[in-house]
Chain A
Amino acid sequence: MTVACLLVPSLALACELARRPALVGQPVVLTDAAGLRVADATPEAAARGVRAGQTLREAAGYCPTLTALEPRPARVARALERLAAALGVVSPLVETPPAASAGIGVDALYADLRGTEALFPRPGALERAVFGALTGSSSPARSPHAAPPRGGTGSRGALRREPASTPRPAPPLVSRAAPIASGAPAPPLPDRTAHSASMANGFVPRLGIADRRFTAFAAARTAAPGTARRVAGDEATAFLASLPAEWLPLSDDAITHLRLLGLRTLGAFAALPRHAVEAQFGFEGGRAWLAARGEDPAPVRADPVARERVIEHAQSQPPLVSREAVTGVVEQLLGRALRHPGVRRRFVRALRLRAITEDDRLWERVHTTKEPTGDRARLWLAIRPLLEYADYPGPIAELELELSGLTTESGRQVGLFVDRTRRREQLDEMVRHLKLRYGQSPVARVVDVEPWSRVPERRHALMDYEP
């Protein structure tokens, strides 16, 4: 088993339903960021004809009792971080869905398990480790590489509520099974491993483990919420055969095409000759054909391992409504972050600012410095414009500053030629300005005319500097 897949169908919607348990089992949709169209829908809403992409007016026409919820990207980001941290317990190579699409549809997280077999030799140990990390309980088989990669140096503190440089307690993500899973209900298979997770108020991810990426995804999708499912390599083809063809990693158009061709199951799709599939669906169709046979060639594209980073965090109650107040708090956060022992006498390459509103809307900016610097003034020069031109989605309840890409340098070696080139560019720009202002170049350069001459005035001359 080389791939683990952690799946929470409709994560963004699940995050909202976890906070509104009364809506569980009701027709509910999640709108897009503009609040105009349906981004995701519960199975109850889908059963009434509501689809992603419809306008809210159109969706209400299909289902008059529909409840529309606005997305809260901050909650989704936190949930994804927790899910990634849980998978990070069993492998340092974790792939998370891209931020833009995160939480919509059936995005999944994958972990590359190659080489970790010896760490979890007992049956069910890996599953217990993942679910244990999600519920916050100590894992009996905790991997030695688990903790640092995703948390980083993690100096988290708060200006008002939490002491500085202490880990922010993360509430248990997983709590209770919520009937919001889309797709086919999990069949009662004998090899399903159930893990009771003491959950209260929340949603429950499913875990799939297999030899191939798509097989692990299908295993997770067929597992009941809060459970794990393993599919052995020699069972993959039989396991996949009865599953719906629309799960294939193909575009919406291709899925519609499959439906029109009458191909309902993965088994029917896999039974076609590969060349016929590629003739209809191209290269992607060929890969999907392999996936349907349990031979998915797609690897786990692990995120870059998060190296050291320092995070400073502040909460505000009441939320900050003035830009000046936000700027002041971020300036304090920068000062605290730079005083952190992990940053002292080191340079910073990247910084990330995150502001979360009181209703969990997210504002985030990432800035990569032109060159590593540990100078507070220069870093503030980079941060300040971000804050001055920020369009916050509401009153700010939380602010977070992350310094990353920490170098091992304590000084900077000035480049012999690079700086000269830069200086030349600056000079050219300055001369252009002066020429525009005074009508002629006020700068000249000394040129050799006859440097060997015994007559001094013939050796060198001044020439107008033309950038």
Chain B
Amino acid sequence: MNTNLRPLGLPRPARVRVDEYGLPAEVAVGRARRGAATAALRTVVQVDEAWRIAEEWWRPSPSGEGMARTYYRVILDDGSALTLYRDDEDGQWYAQSY
């Protein structure tokens, strides 16, 4: 019997503009609105928390690289909270519920 497990809470790609300290300053997550090429950027008013995970460094990822992420919990201009991370291996940004 195939258990057919589908992981929950997968990361979604995000477009992030960082400030001079490398912290997220503007974020765009999700689909673009009709007529727009990309999703609109929203201003980060506060970075609540930042932490890094690089666990299981002895276990290579499927791509053959290790896993290292730097997470940021940010507050957007409309008051909503968002968890972002930067993949330290390839520098890409993702949004993920933590």
Instruction: Spell out A's residues near B (CB within 8 Å).
Output: 444, 446-447, 449, 454-464, 466
Q: Assess whether B22 is interfacial by the CB under 8 Å rule.
A: no
| Of the residues B5, B96, B97, contact of A462 by C-beta under 8 Å | B5
Question: Are the C-beta atoms of B4 and A463 separated by less than 8 Å?
Answer: yes
User: What's the least CB distance linking B85 to chain A, in Å?
Assistant: 10
User: What's the least CB distance linking B53 to chain A, in Å?
Assistant: 5
Q: Assess whether B28 is interfacial by the CB under 8 Å rule.
A: no
Q: Assess whether B30 is interfacial by the CB under 8 Å rule.
A: no
User: What's the least CB distance linking A460 to chain B, in Å?
Assistant: 4
Chain B residues contacting A449 (CB-CB under 8 Å) are: 5, 7
Question: Are the C-beta atoms of B5 and A461 separated by less than 8 Å?
Answer: yes
Question: Are the C-beta atoms of B5 and A447 separated by less than 8 Å?
Answer: yes
User: What's the least CB distance linking A451 to chain B, in Å?
Assistant: 11
CA distance A461 to B1 in the complex (A): 17
| Of the residues B1, B9, B67, contact of A456 by C-beta under 8 Å | B9
Question: Are the C-beta atoms of B7 and A461 separated by less than 8 Å?
Answer: yes
User: What's the least CB distance linking A435 to chain B, in Å?
Assistant: 14
Q: A459-B8, A460-B8, A464-B3 are in contact. List 10 more A-B contacts (CB 8 A).
A: A444-B6, A447-B5, A455-B53, A456-B98, A460-B7, A461-B6, A461-B8, A462-B5, A462-B6, A463-B6
Chain B residues contacting A461 (CB-CB under 8 Å) are: 5-8
CA distance A228 to B97 in the complex (A): 90
User: What's the least CB distance linking A466 to chain B, in Å?
Assistant: 8
Chain A residues contacting B6 (CB-CB under 8 Å) are: 444, 461-463
| Of the residues A454, A457, A466, contact of B11 by C-beta under 8 Å | A457
Q: Assess whether B55 is interfacial by the CB under 8 Å rule.
A: yes
Q: Assess whether B37 is interfacial by the CB under 8 Å rule.
A: no
Q: Mark B1-29, 1 if CB is under 8 A from A, else 0.
A: 10111111111000000000000000000
- The residue in A456, A457, A459, A460 that gathers the most chain B C-beta atoms within 10 A of its C-beta is A456
> How many B residues touch A, CB cutoff 8 Å?
16
Chain A residues contacting B1 (CB-CB under 8 Å) are: 466
CA distance A461 to B53 in the complex (A): 21
Chain A residues contacting B55 (CB-CB under 8 Å) are: 454-455
CA distance A447 to B8 in the complex (A): 10
CA distance A282 to B50 in the complex (A): 92
Question: Are the C-beta atoms of A457 and B3 separated by less than 8 Å?
Answer: no
Instruction: Spell out B's residues near A (CB within 8 Å).
Output: 1, 3-11, 53, 55, 67, 96-98
User: What's the least CB distance linking A459 to chain B, in Å?
Assistant: 7
Name the residue on A nearest B10 (C-beta): A457
Chain A residues contacting B10 (CB-CB under 8 Å) are: 457
CA distance A461 to B7 in the complex (A): 4
Chain A residues contacting B7 (CB-CB under 8 Å) are: 449, 457-458, 460-461
Chain B residues contacting A458 (CB-CB under 8 Å) are: 7
User: What's the least CB distance linking A165 to chain B, in Å?
Assistant: 62
Question: Are the C-beta atoms of A464 and B4 separated by less than 8 Å?
Answer: yes
User: What's the least CB distance linking A221 to chain B, in Å?
Assistant: 72
CA distance A185 to B20 in the complex (A): 123
Name the residue on A nearest B5 (C-beta): A461
Given the known inter-chain contacts A446-B8, A457-B8, please indicate yes or no for A463 contacting B3, CB distance below 8 A.
Answer: yes
| Of the residues A457, A463, A464, A466, contact of B9 by C-beta under 8 Å | A457
Question: Are the C-beta atoms of A454 and B8 separated by less than 8 Å?
Answer: no
Q: List 5 A-B residue pairs with CB atoms under 8 Å apart, sorted by A's residue number.
A: A455-B53, A456-B98, A460-B8, A461-B5, A464-B3
Chain A residues contacting B5 (CB-CB under 8 Å) are: 447, 449, 461-463
Chain B residues contacting A463 (CB-CB under 8 Å) are: 3-6
Question: Are the C-beta atoms of A456 and B3 separated by less than 8 Å?
Answer: no
User: What's the least CB distance linking B12 to chain A, in Å?
Assistant: 11
Name the residue on B nearest A453 (C-beta): B55
User: What's the least CB distance linking A80 to chain B, in Å?
Assistant: 61
Name the residue on A nearest B97 (C-beta): A456
CA distance A458 to B11 in the complex (A): 11
Name the residue on B nearest A446 (C-beta): B8
Chain B residues contacting A447 (CB-CB under 8 Å) are: 5
CA distance A23 to B76 in the complex (A): 102
Name the residue on A nearest B83 (C-beta): A456
Chain A residues contacting B97 (CB-CB under 8 Å) are: 456
Given the known inter-chain contacts A454-B55, A455-B67, please indicate yes or no for A460 contacting B9, CB distance below 8 A.
Answer: yes
User: What's the least CB distance linking B8 to chain A, in Å?
Assistant: 4
7 closest A-B pairs by CB: A461-B5, A456-B9, A462-B6, A460-B8, A457-B7, A454-B53, A457-B9
Chain B residues contacting A459 (CB-CB under 8 Å) are: 8-9
